[in-house]
Structure formats: C-alpha cells, structure tokens
Structure 1
Amino acid sequence: MTQTMPRTGRRARSVWERVRERAAGRAYVHDEPDEAAAAETYRAMDLALRVGELLLASGEATENVSEAMRSLSVAYGLPRSEAAVTFTAISLSCVPTDGAPPVTGERSVRRRLPDYERLAATHQLVEQAALGLVDLDAAFDRLRAIKRARPPYPGLLITLSLPLISASASVLSGGGAMVAGIAFAATLVADRAGAWLGRRGIAEFYQLAVGAAIGSLIAVLVIAAGLPVQASAVVVGAIMALLPGRPLVAAVQDGISGAMVSAGARLLEVFFIVAALVTGVGLTVYAAIHLGLPLSVEDLPTSLPSAGPVPVLGAVAMSVTFAISLAVPRRALLTAGIGGGAIWLLYVALRTADVMPVLAAGVSAAVVGLVAHLIAARHRSPALPYTVPLIGPLLPGTPLYRGLLQISHNDLNQGLLSLFTALATAFALAAGISLGGELVRAFRRGGTVGTSPRRRPAARRTRGY
C-alpha cells in the first residue's frame, strides 16, 4: 500500500532538492511570471508615481498625495502596494502574488511650481480612475494633457499678480492710491530682478533677499524725496507679496497629518524664506536709520483695522490676486473674493471686541476656512485652491516690519516680541484653515477609494508616545 507523504515532508524535500541543485551547480528556475501581467503592473506603478510627482510639485500636502497614489493602486490592481511620500521624493512598492520579487519605483521632485488648476485636474483624474471610469491608457493620455495644458490666466496677468498683491496690501496698511502705485512699481522691479537672478543660476534665497531689499529701498527713496505718503505701507506691501503663506499651510497640514519629515522640511523652507525677507528689509532699514532718514515705528498703523469700504475692497483684491498667482481654477475666484472680504470683516469684528490679534486671526481662518472646505467638497475639488488665497489679507506683514524697525532702533526685546507675534499669527492662520478641513472630514460621508477614516495614519491614537 502506498502512503502519501505529509505536506511538511514534501516541502522539506523540495527545499532539499533546491539545495542539492545549487550545490551541483544548477540554478533553480522559478516558474516564469506572466510577462503581460508584469508589464501592466509596471505601467500602473509608473502612472501612480507620475501622478504623485505632479501633485507634490503643484503644492499638494503629503497626506493627499499618498491617498491619491493608494487610490490608483487599488483602481489598477497593484498587489500589496505601499506609497512613501516626502518633501522631494516619492516611492511606490508592490509585492506580486505570482512569486516574482517585489518591485519598487521612485521619482524625485526637482522643481516645485504651485499650479492649482493642474492640481485640481489631476485630482479629478484620480477620482474618475478610482471609480473605474478611466482605463490605464486613457489615464496616461489625460495625464500628458494636464501637463501640457496652458495656465488658466494670461502670462502677463500672472506676472503682475505679485505687484497687485503688494498694492492691495498697502491699501490694507493705510496707504492711498499713490502708495498703492509705488508699492506696485517696487514689487514689479523686485520680482523682475529676482527672475533675472534666477536665469543666472542664483539661489532663490538671494533672489528673495534682493527683492525684499529693492522694495524697502524704494520706500526709503520715497522718504528721502520728501513725498507726502506713508512709506511704511510700501514696505509692508512688498513684504506681504513675498510672505510664504502657501508653504506654511502645507507645513501645518503635514504636521497635523503625521508626516513629520515633510512638515519639518516645509518649515525649514518657510524659515529660509522669512530669513531672506528679514535679511533684505533689515539691511536696508538699518542703513537708512543710521544715515539719518526718519524711519520710525510711530509711522506704522496702530489703530484697530477698519471695516470701511476701501480696506474691504483691498482685502478682496488681495485674495483674488493671490489666487491668480497660484493659478487657481477660474470657478474658485469668486470664493477667493468673497472669502477675502469675509475673513477681513470677521477679523475686524473680533479685534473690535478686544480679542487678541493671534486668536482673532486663527478664529477667522477657521470659520471662513470651514465654509471654503464645504464649497470645495461640493465641487468635488481639492481644498487648497479654495482655502489658501483666503489668508492673504491677514498675513503678518506689519508686525514683521515693526519688529525689524524696533531691532534697528536697538529695542531688541520689543523687536523679538513683534517677530514672535508675526510668527504666531502665521501659524494661527494655517492651523485655522487646517481645522476647517478636519471638521469637514469628520462629518463627510464616504471618502477616496482605497482609503478610509479609520485607516488614516493621523487618526491612530498614540497618546503622545
């Protein structure tokens, strides 16, 4: 009677036979995997990596990039895939089920240019692919079309968006039409000087420092010429046009979502941008004061912000021009304009009620940001095009300039306090915008294919350990 060998015995014999074959110089040959299936896996991984690279380069937060890549992995059947996203690199790995070795792909983001129109189109592609409406070939075609698409606004308008931000900010700071014109011209010259340096291969840190120095230098020349204008509003406008509102929002979102590596890198980016602005403005202001020009802290606006028609229009214009500089979809411009006016009016109301400036900025950003997140969810669009432009009117240009003036006048304690207030206000704005998104996420039904609220890394309880 024949006896059946136990399964463990057959497995041990198979392993022993492979060992004997290797010892005899014969390589053990695996069953060849299906080449067509392997090629399809590689193409799906390539698509997910290219989509992740495009989203990250367009300014998307790390968590949303990871969710998009996981959605594509589920949609196109990548087995046991894992996505890892950092500030400048993206990797995707999968473990095939046919015995083939694991496969890992990686792409680096070498050039980051905020383009929220492209970001929204890419998210729409991911959503439709996750729902099974786009096959792999069509997805590649649409991705190439997104990359080649023209910006939603003329190039000249995008070029003039930063000077328009500066002009609007100078109006918010108490300047009139002449001050707005001077701020516009100063920022335009500074921006073109930075672009010229960029074409010569100069690092962006020095481009920003030179731009900030040119803006403040023109204000100093206005004072030296004796023109009857509020020159401090020119400097504040130039600073507001260069303040890193977009990377700060992304940094806070990454930190809250648990992507600490990316959050730390983005915060370093914010630090170097602010350091460049402080360097450029600080050197000019220090030189002007020691040359005897009347730059004084008393020239800065000290009264409560006003809810008059001119400041409100300035806030609306600043949010709209900020949105244009980020190339948001055209349908988001109306939200940017209304939201900019609303966040300014709410901030004025809270300051009138003796609420601290930092708290007033955070509460205003949270309330208006919540509404903007709801509008983005209604349009089935990413939230950044609807939320980031709203914080423009409340960016802390005035306390930053006040701190530099106080330090230049050897008032170190008050200067550091003003700089800390500017930093705290910026973080309050970013945290308020992020809080609105968390509230929408908490009460929203459904989610992205391949993800769920319970599986969100940021939601896992660690109790601080």
Structure 2
Amino acid sequence: MRVRNDTPTLPAPWLARALPRLRGLEPLSSYGYGGELLHDDGRADMQAYGARVADLAVRVGEALLSYGASAEEAVAGILVTAETYGLSYCEPDVTLGSVSLSAYAPGELTPLHATRHVRRHSTDFRALGNLQALVGRISGHTLTLDEARAEAGRILDAPAPVGGRRWARWRVPVQTGLVAAGGGPVFGGGPLTSLCSFVAGVLGGLLNGWLERNGVPAFYRYAVAAMPAAIMALGVSRFVPAFAVQALVVAGVLGLLPTVTFVSAVQDALAGHYLTALGRLADALLVFAAVVTGVVAVLGVGHLVGLGVPIVPSVRRSDRLGAPGAGAVVFAVAVAARARTPARDWLPAAVLGLAGFVVSVEFEVLGFSSLVGTALVATAVGGAGHFVARRRRESALPLVVPGIAPLLPGGVLYASLGALASGRTTSGIAGMVNVAAVTLALAVGVGLAGEVGQLIRRLRLRSRAV
C-alpha cells in the first residue's frame, strides 16, 4: 500500500518536528493524528499491513538505540515511521533493553502491539547516520512501506567492512591502540609512551574481543582489557620519567572508558527518559568500575613486590602545548574512527578536539577550576558540533564525542588509581568522585549545547509561522 506523497515536506528535520510532540508542547487533540491517516478501504489485509508498519517502526527504533542514539531520538524514529504509514494513536516506549509500540491500524478497533529487545549495544555512527537518513526519507513520504522495509534490511544486514572477517576482528583493537597512542602525548608522554600505549591498547582490545566472542560478561572483559596498560607501566617504570608512566596508564585506561554511554545517559536523563538513563548510567559505571579494578589489581601487586608506579603531580597541559596538541588531534580522529564515524567527519572532529584542548589549556592558565572550565569548553564544542551537524542535516554525536575526548581528566584519574593501589582508599575514592564530576560536566555541557540549539530552532520556526 502506497502512502500519498502530496503532503509538503517541512524544512525542519524529522527529529525537530517530533520533539514538540514528545515533550508535550502540542495540544492533546493532535496526538495520534500527526501523520497522514489511511482509512479502511474494505480490504481484508489492513491489520496485516498495520503489523508490517509496526514491525518496521520498532525495528528502526531498536537499531537507533543500539547504535548510540538517545532514547528521545529512538522514540521519535518509531513515532515518525508509524504515523507516516498510517497508524494512529501511536504510543512508543523505549528502555535500555527494549522498544515497544502500541497503535491502531486504519479501520481496526483492536490495537497493535510490537516489541523488540535490544540485545547488543555498539557505537556505530555510520549505520546510525544511514538510519537517520532513512527516517528522513520516510517522513518525506518518498518511500513505500515495502521499499522502506527493504532499505532498513540493507542497512542493518550490511556486509563486513572492506578487509573481510579478519580485519573486522582487528579493527577495534588497532583503533583502540591508536586512541591510546594519541592519548599519550595529551597527558604528558612522548614517542616511547605513545608506542607503549599503542601496544597496550591493541592487547587490551584483542583480549576484550576474544572474551566477548566467548560470552564473558562485560565487567570481567574490561577488567582484563585494562591490565596490559598497567603491566606495561610497571615494566617501564624504572627506565622512563615518572610523568611518562602516568601518561601510559591514563592513555591505556581512557581508551576503554564508556564516554559515549555516559554522555547518552546524561542526555536521556535531561530529556526525561529516566529509566533508560539509569540503565545506561549503570552500564557506564559498571565498565568504569571494571577498568579501575583491572588497573588497581595490577598496580597493587606491583606495589607489594616493590614495583609501584611513581605518583607525581598532574602535568600542566600549558607547560607543553605542541606535542599534546598533536596528540589531541590523533586522539579525536582515532575515537571517531573506532566509532565508525564517516571519514568526512574526521576533519571537523579533529578541529573540535584541538580547539577544545587549546581553550582548556587557556582556562587552566587563567585559573579556572576543572569543573567550570570543562563545562564551558564542552558547551562550546557541543555548540560548534551541533551547528556543523545542523548544516549537514546529520547527528551531532559523531562530531561532539571525539571533540570532547581530549578533555577527559587524566591526571586526577592516575592519582586516584595510584592511591587505591597503595591502600589510600579515602584519597582514591575522593579522586574518583572528582573524575566522575568532570565527566558529568562534559556530558552536561554537550547536552546544554544541544538543548540551546533546539530552542533556537523552535523559536525560528515559530517566528516564520507568524
């Protein structure tokens, strides 16, 4: 059944048009009638047609959520898809583990219910962009239902990247190594630190992937994956300066931290999707605790046998800007590549990462606290990323997440890990709280930039309507 396409396409993207509905900014009388309604034409397959629409809608929502979109965006994708193809009184719902839809098919009195479980979460901004483009084409009434279902199948069942299965297994470990290698100079290391960090990142990625393929839970996988960086730091601690050991540990750890999950959790909480936010936050905290456990276990054993890593004051980024600036670029691009961000977004991500790093250095020189400076820089990076994404009609996450990566708190994290390993539990926990607070400031800054952009967009649309 083909949906008529004589409805003009509005200039705003589909997500911007759906948000007022989702946030209760439209009258209740309009709910259920946002799309073009179909009417019973006497055919007996109307309920079967509605079931196919509901299946497509929840499949799109499940894929959006699993590839890194916010809960609000997944709900909007379900709503737009279902209403475009004629379902009415649509009530989509999303949690971290499932998506569901209740709606009415045209001419039917019995509601449809469809549910899909999200069994795996992975950050894949390329597939996410393709899905967002698909929902945009659906909302523009340019695809029939069968065409949209076929296109969704092509996106979700896409073959492995170039290089075959062997490269598919090595891609994430190698890119994790590049993330660690770029993080080495950012946190005070040199070429040797970058090399050691790369090796530690690759080993950690390989261990994580092998354990995942054998069904080991995430906590144990990440605890084991964090150990190579700590072991290598113990091995070279007698031959390199103290700040290089710090950079090696921090770079190896930050490549494993769930930054995307934490940012998404804060965005979901700010948008009112508290259940999904709590689930994502628990997921992020579990991985964070696993990484800390793996590093502290190795450093604790090293401390017992007399190979404790040196605890030094945090390296001021303003003391050495050249190499850390280059490392920030590599760090941002490597984070983008690991998240399968399209290559056209690597340059903007690198520019955002470098600009945010330089501005954070200037704030440090001016005496800003880490929380205030991080929040301000994250807001600026988020605003720039949303502006570029708005011009391109795409998601801002592929630009913003790599852009804020060099702002993660490395020195405080290292000092906290060393304190926990040496038995100074109170100092270590206090440091971890500080790390969590800075990371929260990053996420809130990014979310604030997005909300300000949405507010400006709504005000512009309202002024045009007047």
TM-score, length basis structure 1: 0.85
Mapping of residues 127-206 of structure 1, within 5 Å: 127-150=136-159, 155=167, 156-206=170-220
Q: Which of 400, 414, 422 is the equivalent residue of 1:409?
A: 422
Deviations 1:413-463 (A, max 9, x none): 332221111000100001111111001100115999xxx9xxxxxxxxxxx
Deviations 1:243-297 (A, max 9, x none): 1100001000000000000000011001101110111011111111122224222
Secondary structure class of the residue paired with 1:377: helix
| Residue 243 of structure 1 pairs with residue 243 of structure 2 | no
Q: Given residue 326 of structure 2, which amino acid in structure 1 is its aligned partner? A: L
- Determine the C-alpha separation between the residues in 1 that align with 2:223 and 2:341: 27
- Determine the C-alpha separation between the residues in 2 that align with 1:131 and 1:307: 51
Q: Report what 2:129 is aligned to.
A: 120
| Paired residues of 1:307 and 1:348 also in contact (CA < 8 A) | no
- Determine the C-alpha separation between the residues in 2 that align with 1:349 and 1:220: 33
Mapping of residues 441-452 of structure 1, within 5 Å: 441-445=454-458
Q: Given residue 240 of structure 1, which amino acid in structure 2 is its aligned partner? A: L
- Determine the C-alpha separation between the residues in 2 that align with 1:268 and 1:440: 28
| Paired residues of 1:372 and 1:386 also in contact (CA < 8 A) | yes
Q: Report what 2:53 is aligned to.
A: 44
| Residue 273 of structure 1 pairs with residue 282 of structure 2 | no
Q: Report what 1:13 is aligned to.
A: none
Deviates more, 1:246-255 or 1:328-337: 328-337
Compute the displacement of 1:179 (Å).
1.0
Q: Report what 2:12 is aligned to.
A: none
- Determine the C-alpha separation between the residues in 2 that align with 1:52 and 1:385: 19
- Determine the C-alpha separation between the residues in 2 that align with 1:291 and 1:33: 81
| Residue 399 of structure 1 pairs with residue 412 of structure 2 | yes
TM-score, length basis structure 2: 0.85
- Determine the C-alpha separation between the residues in 1 that align with 2:397 and 2:157: 21
Q: Report what 1:78 is aligned to.
A: 87
Mapping of residues 21-420 of structure 1, within 5 Å: 34-96=43-105, 98-150=107-159, 155=167, 156-223=170-237, 226-227=239-240, 230-298=244-312, 300-306=313-319, 308-420=321-433
Deviates more, 1:143-152 or 1:40-49: 143-152
Q: Given residue 318 of structure 1, which amino acid in structure 2 is its aligned partner? A: F
Deviations 1:220-243 (A, max 9, x none): 11225x356722211111111011
Q: Describe the shift of the 1:158–1:289 C-alpha distance in structure 2 as closer, same or farther (beyond 3 A).
A: closer
- Determine the C-alpha separation between the residues in 1 that align with 2:161 and 2:403: 19
Secondary structure class of the residue paired with 1:422: helix
Secondary structure class of the residue paired with 2:45: helix
| Paired residues of 1:306 and 1:348 also in contact (CA < 8 A) | no
| Paired residues of 2:175 and 2:338 also in contact (CA < 8 A) | yes
| Residue 433 of structure 1 pairs with residue 442 of structure 2 | no
- Determine the C-alpha separation between the residues in 1 that align with 2:194 and 2:334: 14
Q: Report what 1:3 is aligned to.
A: none
- Determine the C-alpha separation between the residues in 1 that align with 2:162 and 2:219: 27
Secondary structure class of the residue paired with 2:205: helix
- Determine the C-alpha separation between the residues in 2 that align with 1:57 and 1:99: 32
Deviates more, 1:412-421 or 1:145-154: 145-154
Deviates more, 1:92-101 or 1:194-203: 92-101
Compute the displacement of 1:411 (Å).
3.2
Deviates more, 1:355-364 or 1:437-446: 437-446
Compute the displacement of 1:388 (Å).
1.3
Compute the displacement of 1:116 (Å).
0.5
Q: Report what 1:28 is aligned to.
A: none
Compute the displacement of 1:373 (Å).
0.4
Q: Report what 2:16 is aligned to.
A: none
Compute the displacement of 1:410 (Å).
3.7
Secondary structure class of the residue paired with 2:414: helix
Unaligned runs of 5+ in 1: 1-30, 453-465
Identity of aligned residues (%): 30
- Determine the C-alpha separation between the residues in 2 that align with 1:307 and 1:61: 37
Secondary structure class of the residue paired with 2:226: helix
- Determine the C-alpha separation between the residues in 2 that align with 1:153 and 1:312: 31
- Determine the C-alpha separation between the residues in 2 that align with 1:128 and 1:332: 22
Compute the displacement of 1:102 (Å).
1.2
- Determine the C-alpha separation between the residues in 2 that align with 1:158 and 1:338: 23
Q: Report what 2:14 is aligned to.
A: none
- Determine the C-alpha separation between the residues in 1 that align with 2:123 and 2:160: 11
- Determine the C-alpha separation between the residues in 1 that align with 2:456 and 2:221: 44
Secondary structure class of the residue paired with 1:297: coil
- Determine the C-alpha separation between the residues in 2 that align with 1:222 and 1:332: 36
Secondary structure class of the residue paired with 1:160: helix
CA RMSD of aligned residues (A): 2.2
Between Structure 1 and Structure 2, how many residues are aligned?
417
Q: Describe the shift of the 1:319–1:150 C-alpha distance in structure 2 as closer, same or farther (beyond 3 A).
A: farther
Compute the displacement of 1:171 (Å).
1.0
Unaligned runs of 5+ in 2: 1-39
Q: Describe the shift of the 1:313–1:227 C-alpha distance in structure 2 as closer, same or farther (beyond 3 A).
A: closer
